[in-house]
Amino acid sequence: MAVPQLAITPALKRQLGLWLDEDLGRGDLSAVCLCSDLVEAHWVAKAPGVFAGGVLAAAVFQQLDAQVQVQQLVADGEPVVAGQRLLNLTGGAPALVGAERTALNLAMRLSGIATATAALVAELQGSGIQLADTRKTTPGLRALEKYAVRCGGGQNHRLGLDDAAMLKENHLAWAGGMDAAVAAVRSQAPWPARVIIEAETAAEATAAVNAGADGVLLDEFSPDELRELVPQLRQLASQRGSAVVLEASGIQPQQLSHFCDTGIDLISTSAPVTRSAWLDVSMRFSPRQEG
């Protein structure tokens, strides 16, 4: 799998600083007992899974001490086993202690999402169906949680409402119908914004393709229903001289394998973000050398 990319932008650095401030408050009261020498530490996985968040370590620790050095031993997106060393750190003791919890919390949260994503992606292996996330994310953590999904082999759906126009039941009701809603979006949204329409029945899915949707979200359809409907929608789109992305949602994670032969392109689920447990990672400190 290609190594996922995460840009450490100025905005992300500011956010990391705010998260550090939350923990540090008026200052770490334990810092006065620490030596001023350079010290060494490392992270170790305490359970098997998929690692994510190591790329953030330097950006977090260097907020407190620009001289902190981080050597990442396991790339984000790589599987790990219990007891495996993940990265090495060298720096001033106050910085390593002060930023420890913030950095670990982020890595454990993101590694948990990556691990859960990888397990679901494995269920779809060989089917040609991709697993995608949703906008059900923790406020303030969306970019990182979606990065963790990529680390687990999943795909990112919309980062926000400005990525694509997804027209659901409420949009269609308040816009005066499907054709009116699509026409309004096409006339105002910047090119090449995609239009995705949520359908809860075969009739709605057919109407969505006829309306020129770029994608149809098939919500809570059974595998049998999709096996019958998907070829019909493909044929209809072909007759219109277009292609359509067919996405299924409303699927329980434990049922994913039942959809492998339905012919859909994508399954979107919030489960890796909303239901995953953190992957336990700890930071171990090397004893100070006397002399």
pLDDT tens for 203-213 read 999 999 999 99
Residues 77 and 91 in one domain: yes
Amino acid 190: pLDDT: 87
Measured distance CA(60)–CA(28) in Å, rounded = 16
pLDDT in tens, 8-61: 999 999 999 999 999 999 998 898 898 878 899 999 999 999 999 999 999 999
Residues 136 and 269 in one domain: yes
| Annotation marks residue 219 as catalytic | yes
Residues 248 and 149 in one domain: yes
Residues 94 and 212 in one domain: no
Q: Is residue 224 part of a domain?
A: yes
Q: Is residue 68 part of a domain?
A: yes
Measured distance CA(101)–CA(2) in Å, rounded = 29
Residue keyed to tokens 């009116």: 180
Residues 159 and 257 in one domain: yes
Residues 104 and 137 in one domain: no
Q: What is the arithmetic mean of pLDDT over 135-145?
A: 96
Q: Is residue 216 part of a domain?
A: yes
Amino acid 172: pLDDT: 87
Q: What is the pTM of this model?
A: 0.94
Amino acid 289: pLDDT: 60
The domain in which residue 17 lies consists of 10-121+277-285
Residues 80 and 219 in one domain: no
| Annotation marks residue 136 as catalytic | yes
Amino acid 175: pLDDT: 87
Residues 158 and 259 in one domain: yes
Q: Is residue 237 part of a domain?
A: yes
User: For residues 163 and 85, which has the higher predicted lDDT (pLDDT)?
Assistant: 85
pLDDT in tens, 258-286: 999 999 999 999 999 999 999 999 999 98
Arithmetic mean of pLDDT over the chain: 94
Indicate the number of domains in the chain. Answer: 2
- Which member of 13, 40, 65, 101 is catalytic? 101
Amino acid 35: pLDDT: 86
- Which member of 76, 123, 214, 219 is catalytic? 219
Question: What percent of the chain has a predicted confidence (pLDDT) above 90?
Answer: 87
Would the pLDDT of 257 be above 70? yes
- Which member of 145, 198, 214, 247 is catalytic? 198
Measured distance CA(281)–CA(272) in Å, rounded = 18
CATH classification of the domain holding 63: 3.90.1170.20
Would the pLDDT of 195 be above 60? yes
Would the pLDDT of 4 be above 60? yes
Q: Largest Cα–Cα distance in the chain?
A: 81
Q: Is residue 82 part of a domain?
A: yes
Q: Is residue 142 part of a domain?
A: yes
Q: Is residue 98 part of a domain?
A: yes
* Beta bridge partner(s), residue 44: 85, 282
Q: What is the arithmetic mean of pLDDT over 96-108?
A: 97
Query: Does residue 187 contact residue 178 with C-beta atoms inside 8 Å?
Result: no
C-beta neighbour count of 23 within 10 angstroms = 13
- Which member of 136, 240, 275, 288 is catalytic? 136
Residue keyed to tokens 């809603």: 181
CATH classification of the domain holding 223: 3.20.20.70
Residues 189 and 103 in one domain: no
Amino acid 192: pLDDT: 82
Residues 23 and 51 in one domain: yes
Which of the four pLDDT bands, split at 50, 70 and 90, describes residue 176?
confident
Residues 19 and 74 in one domain: yes
- Which member of 168, 186, 194, 227 is catalytic? 168
Q: Is residue 230 part of a domain?
A: yes
Residues 25 and 103 in one domain: yes
Residue keyed to tokens 């190591």: 54
